[in-house]
Amino acid sequence: MTPTPGNVDPVPPAHTEPASGLSTADARARLAEYGPNELPPSRRVPWPVRILRLLAEPMSILLIAAAVVDAVGLGQTVDAAAILAIVALNAAIAFFQEGKAAAALEALRSMESPRARLLRDGSPTEVPAREVVPGDVVLLSAGDRIPADLRLLEASMLEIDESLLTGESLPVAKTPGATDGSGIAERPGMAFSGTVVIRGVGRGVAVVTGPRTELGRIAERLREREPATPLQRELRATTFRLGAMAIVIAVGVFGLTLARMGFTEESLQRSFLASVALAVAAVPEGLATVVTVALAVGVRAMAARGAIVRRLAAVETLGAATVILTDKTGTLTENRMRLEAAATIDRPPGPLASLPDRAWTTATEIAALCNDAELDPPSGDPMDVAVLEAVGSYRVADLRRRATRLGEVP
């Protein structure tokens, strides 16, 4: 049975026993049928195609045409070689930058895949997320990254951060139930691949995996060819204007010179050379180099801040933004918080450690004991994690070791 994307369940409930999950043999068979639970790698463009794509830019074509005319029409082989060297340098800079970005993205993708906790053969087990198959019963708890699109079977105070898909930074409460809503936000009975459990526990049956998940559908749309950036459109328009201007100048000079010198073989040759020389002079050979070097400097500056830019021209698009209005904090940031300052009624804000001894003791006890987040590894509500980080892992561990929290066995 071929699985379908969205909220259609390709594995009828009768094919999975919620209390025991799949058997190892059944899981292997489904893995062979549905394939690994991972997104397909990005399409790798062969290097000759990448070079030709860079050379097919209108500015590069105009410079190559100017070099050919310089060499064949005017006999200026040195100038022609210099122009071609500029074109090759521009293409080389862009080619190697795109290659470095692609390698960095592939390195991120090839990092150790997360693991998933499942019910297999009636017992909880942990497997690589890529081995999750439709029909697997997945166990969920705070801090888990959901490995596939799940139909929830059980949920206790379960909240999931779906900002990756919806842009809403607040966690969403989940309850088993209807899954026939048209949008992601209208399906509280579903948990989606790539989202993170903030608090609570639950279990769900995997209904779709890999590229058929909601995350996979988004990734597939991102694989479509990217449109030209504003800089590329402007450079192409400038190139066409310069090309048209050069042709008009060449034709005008050729006609005026020929009219002045008369229609002889010598005047035809001189008129042609003069018009061609002016046309080539109108081409700004240094423009492409200046633009490429400026963009390369921008890419390097972005890389120093941990940002990967795949296409050189994309830097200009980012630089052209002067104001960004958004409320989607969970998608534009790491969705992490940090406690900057704490204050009492009679003291100004300052670091948590600067509080008076009694206030510090009380504040750290409340922060550590009235908190469901964990620090190793960080999991739970981002604000709760930020408070614990300000208290410090040693203090948190010490307080939780010496105190009995509500619901715990003394």
pLDDT greater than 60 at residue 129: yes
Give the whole-angstrom CA distance, residue 276 versus residue 280: 6
151 - beta bridge partners?
190, 205
Query: How do residues 264-283 score in pLDDT, each as one tens digit?
Result: 777 776 777 677 677 666 66
Residues 171, 155: Cα–Cα separation, whole Å? 14
Which residues does the annotation mark as catalytic? 327
Nearest-angstrom CA–CA distance, 324 and 148: 33
Distance (Å, rounded) from C-alpha 368 to C-alpha 394? 11
Tell which wins on pLDDT, 8 or 243. 243
Question: What pLDDT digit, counting tens, does each position of 22-32 carry?
Answer: 888 898 999 99
C-beta separation of 126 from 117 below 8 A: yes
pLDDT digits (tens, 9 = 90+) for 359-395: 999 999 999 988 878 887 787 777 888 999 999 988 9
Q: Which residue has the higher pLDDT, 126 or 113?
A: 126
pLDDT in tens, 198-214: 888 999 999 999 888 88
Residue 282 structure tokens? 């109108």
pLDDT at 299 over 80: no
Entry pTM: 0.54
Position 1 scores a pLDDT of 35
Per-residue pLDDT band at 5 (split at 50, 70, 90): very low
Contacts of 199 (CB under 8 A, 6+ apart): 142, 157, 158, 159, 171, 372, 380, 381
Number of alpha carbons in the 13 Å side-chain half-sphere of residue 33: 15
Among residues 157, 133, 128, the alpha carbon closest in space to that of 145 is found at 128
C-alpha to C-alpha distance for 294 and 364, rounded to whole angstroms? 50
Q: Can you tell me which residue has the tokens 């081409």?
A: 283
